[in-house]
Structure 1
Amino acid sequence: MLDVVQQLTREILDHGKVRNSVLGKTNDWKNSHYESLSEIINEELFEKIDINSEAFFSLGNTISPITLKRIFKNQIKESAYKDARFLKSLEKLSIFLGYEELNVFIAQKVSSKENSEVDDLTEAISLIEKACASEYKQMLHLPDLDLEDFDGVVCNSSPYLKRIEMYLQKLSSYGKLKLQEELSNFEVYNYQLVSKDDNTLVVKTEETWNLIFSANEKFFPYQKKEEQVYFLRKNEDNNWLIWDNYNPDIDEILNS
């Protein structure tokens, strides 16, 4: 319910009548600002809730400055989320914003949030798969190195890209080391969205890497199954790119 309250307050602040009033010119609200907000909301409620309607007898068509201050200052006790009077206040705020009722607001916002997370996870999966495929491709072409495949997938100068470059340079330093493509493969699966905010996406994966290298008629296997965590950031074009990842075996890989 806290998420619902926060989303309500954000939309109220972005409402044209609020944003274009004195309230939109300061972030340091005094009691008088909540009185102004109450007047703006009540003026809308007078129009949207008819005094002869069932909604009027159930809700009324006013909300007090004190109630608004408590909501905007997050001074609401958890027990209030089950209080009918508090829920009626949220209902009136939903109506002010143009929604039929609180449940409609919740349904739309929860659906929107879930869809957004699905879209972001889908994009993250695509980027992680491309990054892993690019890394595998580079190992096939040792000792040549070309990191252009990571453009548009990984942030420039990111810690993740630097570690990949270090690892590939180390493999290249072994000279005739060759990845046996017919004996090697990798798989990334069980993607999970760990957390998300406006600029950071954290995704956990499970990965299996079966790599067989050869040099001078000798074979050098590398086989690992492990969890990894990828950290994605938005670039200047507002697109997700991989910034870093946590690989529990990275020290072993770089130092072996």
Structure 2
Amino acid sequence: MKLIIEQLKKGIQTHPSVLNSTLSSVKTWKRAQYLILAEIIAHKLSKSEHLQGVKKNELGTTISSTTLQRIFTNDYSNKENTDLRFLKTLDKLAIFIGFPSLNSFILNQSCENNAAIAEEHRTKDVLSSYFENLIYQFCQDEFNCLLKLPQVDLSGLSDSIFEDGPLTKRVTDLLEKYSKLDLQLNNENNRSNFEIYDFRITSIDDTLVVISAKEFWNLEWRNHQGEIVNVYNKINRQTYFIKKRGDSWRIWDNYNPDYNNLNTEVSQDMMKKMEV
């Protein structure tokens, strides 16, 4: 009931008869303002098409200023919430803002709330799909960078990450370390590949989105003689921090729990191969 009352109060405060009165210029209503509000409501109810005949005799066309003040200041008891007289008062308030009855008002609010929830879900689904595609694009661009090694070229990453972000520096450092090993990624017959799945939105607001996803990376490294030096297989859950600047959303940072092992494992396997 409290939610319904709050919605009725909002409807009254935004009603044209109230907005076009002296009440609109007063921030904090006191007794004098509730007297004016009572007069506005009584005048409107007396002419309402929804309050005629038997219903008009049953409900009446007035609400006391004291009752209005108690409603707007939340000074009403739990007993009053179910009291028949109190329900009749709410019925008249619903009629004042243009509804046939309190039940009609409640039904309308329920429909609006459901529509708002549905729209929120649709918006979230669209945003989720957009951010999932952004993360996938980054991984694809990063994979393409690996394919260019030993040349270090980050030109393909510019549309998915911020140039001045920590992720850009981390990817650059990783590629430079790989470049020093002078290895190449074997992509024949799709021998090297990646998969992303199980996206989860951790938090979302107007300027920052945090999303985690499971990633599987299968990377087969070979030297210039065509010998396989290392096969890197790893599944983990990574977290992406996506920021908004202006109208652009891009990845600012990424947490990969196995980041420090990416280059180390390849280097160690290469050293073992050379010892043999």
**TM-score normalized with structure 2 length:** 0.66
State the distance in 1 between where 2:57 and 2:4 align: 24
Structure of larger gyration radius = 2
Conserved? CA contact 1:213–1:219, under 8 Å = yes
Question: CA separation of 1:104/1:52 partners in 2, compared to 1, >3 Å: closer, same or farther?
Answer: closer
1:10-54 deviation per Cα after TM superposition (whole angstroms, max 9, x unaligned): 111111111111100111212010000000000111122798722
- Measured after TM superposition, the shift of residue 108 of structure 1 is 0.8
State the distance in 1 between where 2:58 and 2:38 align: 19
Query: How many residues matched?
Result: 230
Worse overlay, 129-138 or 27-36: 129-138
State the distance in 1 between where 2:217 and 2:193 align: 9
Worse overlay, 213-222 or 121-130: 213-222
**Match runs of 1:131-170 below 5 Å:** 131-142=131-142, 143=145, 144=154, 146=157, 148-149=159-160, 165-167=165-167, 169-170=169-170
State the distance in 1 between where 2:250 and 2:107 align: 33
Q: Give the secondary structure class of the aligned counterpart of 1:173.
A: helix
Query: In the alignment, does 2:215 pair up with 1:210?
Result: yes
Where in structure 1 do 4 or more consecutive aligned residues deviate above 6 Å?
Answer: 49-52, 177-181, 199-205, 230-233, 241-244, 253-256
Paired residue for 2:100?
Answer: 100
Paired residue for 1:7?
Answer: 7
1:45 is matched by which residue type in structure 2? Answer: L
- Measured after TM superposition, the shift of residue 204 of structure 1 is 10
- Measured after TM superposition, the shift of residue 148 of structure 1 is 3.4
State the distance in 2 between where 1:172 and 1:148 align: 16
Paired residue for 2:111?
Answer: 111
- Measured after TM superposition, the shift of residue 58 of structure 1 is 2.5
Paired residue for 1:124?
Answer: 124
Aligned match of 2:232 in 196, 219, 223?
A: 219
- Measured after TM superposition, the shift of residue 56 of structure 1 is 2.4
Paired residue for 1:19?
Answer: 19
How big is the alpha-carbon RMSD for the aligned residues of Structure 1 and Structure 2? 4.3
Paired residue for 2:38?
Answer: 38
Conserved? CA contact 1:127–1:242, under 8 Å = no
Paired residue for 1:157?
Answer: none
- Measured after TM superposition, the shift of residue 80 of structure 1 is 2.5
State the distance in 2 between where 1:135 and 1:94 align: 49
Aligned match of 2:199 in 180, 188, 207?
A: 188
Question: CA separation of 1:9/1:231 partners in 2, compared to 1, >3 Å: closer, same or farther?
Answer: farther
- Measured after TM superposition, the shift of residue 210 of structure 1 is 2.8
2:65 is matched by which residue type in structure 1? Answer: P
Question: CA separation of 1:169/1:51 partners in 2, compared to 1, >3 Å: closer, same or farther?
Answer: closer
Worse overlay, 36-45 or 48-57: 48-57
Paired residue for 1:155?
Answer: none
- Structure 2: segments with no counterpart, 5+ residues: 146-153, 179-183, 222-229, 262-276
Conserved? CA contact 2:37–2:65, under 8 Å = yes
Q: Percent identity?
A: 21
- Structure 1: segments with no counterpart, 5+ residues: 151-160
Q: Give the secondary structure class of the aligned counterpart of 2:198.
A: strand
